[in-house]
Structure 1
Amino acid sequence: MTSESNGRGTVRPIRRLGDPVLRTSCDPVREFDAALERLIDDMFATMYAAEGVGLAANQIGVSRQIFVYDCEDDQGRRHVGHVVNPVLVAEDGDVVTDNEGCLSVPGLYFPTPRYEHAVVEGVDLKGSPVRIEGTGYFARCLQHETYHLRGGVYIDVLKGDTRREAMRAVRALS
């Protein structure tokens, strides 16, 4: 059974905006071992417990380039998996603005512009190459999670009045 569906893992606390680990670029994974598999299991358990569709390792305080996902595309197809050392190799198509949220900024959703198509390349937990292509909501997820690993959060891509409104709402959470 793969780590995506085995029900193992320990739910870990999700780091909130303001935690420095969310604002620091993550380090590449260099060891593909049982500890990495346990981390990925924990990430899935945490994502599911929080009812999320994606989770980056730094969101649970681990500064490593890994994210997990369980997300539908614009055709309603479910995509479940993980990417280690992901690189966003393509973001293209129309820019679609839709409400977006984040487990590290709980309860807040803002209209966020994202490309309708994205491609991420990386490796799996064994070090084998993977290429994930997504459209619609799944493309949004791939962009969102990859951005986390570079030390970003979705409110960083907001502009104008939407950004000002988001920043006011974030301050009100503190």
Structure 2
Amino acid sequence: MAVYQIVEVGAEVLREQAKEIPEVNKTIEKLLDNLAETMYAAGNGIGLAAPQIGVSKRAIVVDVGEGLIELVNPVVVESSGVSVETEGCLSIPGVNGDVVRPAQVRVKGLDRKGEPVDITTDGLLARALQHEIDHLEGILFIDKAKKIYRSK
């Protein structure tokens, strides 16, 4: 495993639609390992998408304190409700914003073994999953924020 430099706003890869992963193999397992290690090494992140380490592939990791979730080709298939919360991003250091998102989501994808995963959740996990899936579409939280401010 390796800790990668996190790509910051302004890098082209953050604005691209990430490529679908045709099969989960050793290379993708290593990508998931590297994403997790990089996220944990950053110290204050709860999620990381492959484009954030310069890799235009549809893979994310999330850990909101309930254990690591690794998803390949994740998609939001259902959503409901409305929630407004403050978000930040490892790729946009020193900036926070108030973002409106669905309060509950159902996300489908594949795990590191290529097996189907189906997650229905709300709260912080729902927000983190949506934030990271947005990265796969080239969307940053600042694109959706109703209010943006610099953190101290």
> TM-score band, normalised by the shorter chain?
over 0.9
Identify which of 38, 47, 64 aligns with 2:57. Answer: 64
**Aligned residue identity for 2:51:** N
Q: Structure 2: which 5+ residue stretches go unaligned? A: none
Residues 134 and 142 of structure 1 are in contact (CA less than 8 Å); yes or no, is this contact kept in structure 2? no
- What SS class does the counterpart of residue 110 from structure 1 fall into? strand
Q: Structure 1: which 5+ residue stretches go unaligned? A: 1-8, 73-77, 170-174
**Aligned residue identity for 2:78:** A
TM-score scaled to structure 2, two decimals? 0.92
Find the structure with the greater CA-based Rg: 1
Measured after TM superposition, the shift of residue 79 of structure 1 is 4.3
Q: Note closer, same or farther for the CA distance 1:133–1:80 as it changes in structure 2 (3 Å cut).
A: farther
Alignment of 1:114-129 (within 5 A): 114-129=101-116
Residues 97 and 141 of structure 2 are in contact (CA less than 8 Å); yes or no, is this contact kept in structure 1? no
Detail structure 1 runs of 4+ shifted over 4 Å in the superposition: none
In the other structure, the counterpart of 2:79 is 91
In the other structure, the counterpart of 1:172 is none
Measured after TM superposition, the shift of residue 31 of structure 1 is 3.1
Q: Note closer, same or farther for the CA distance 1:91–1:112 as it changes in structure 2 (3 Å cut).
A: same
In the other structure, the counterpart of 1:20 is 12
In the other structure, the counterpart of 1:134 is 121
Measured after TM superposition, the shift of residue 80 of structure 1 is 2.0
Number of aligned residues: 149
**Aligned residue identity for 1:133:** T
Distance (whole Å) between structure 1 residues aligned to residue 3 and residue 67 of structure 2:
21
Identify which of 41, 45, 51 aligns with 2:33. Answer: 41
Aligned-pair Cα RMSD in Å: 1.3
Report sequence identity in percent: 42
**Aligned residue identity for 2:75:** V
Distance (whole Å) between structure 2 residues aligned to residue 133 and residue 144 of structure 1:
15
In the other structure, the counterpart of 1:32 is 24
- What SS class does the counterpart of residue 26 from structure 1 fall into? coil
Distance (whole Å) between structure 1 residues aligned to residue 83 and residue 67 of structure 2:
20
In the other structure, the counterpart of 1:5 is none
Distance (whole Å) between structure 1 residues aligned to residue 24 and residue 144 of structure 2:
33
**Aligned residue identity for 2:34:** D
Measured after TM superposition, the shift of residue 90 of structure 1 is 1.5
**Aligned residue identity for 1:103:** L
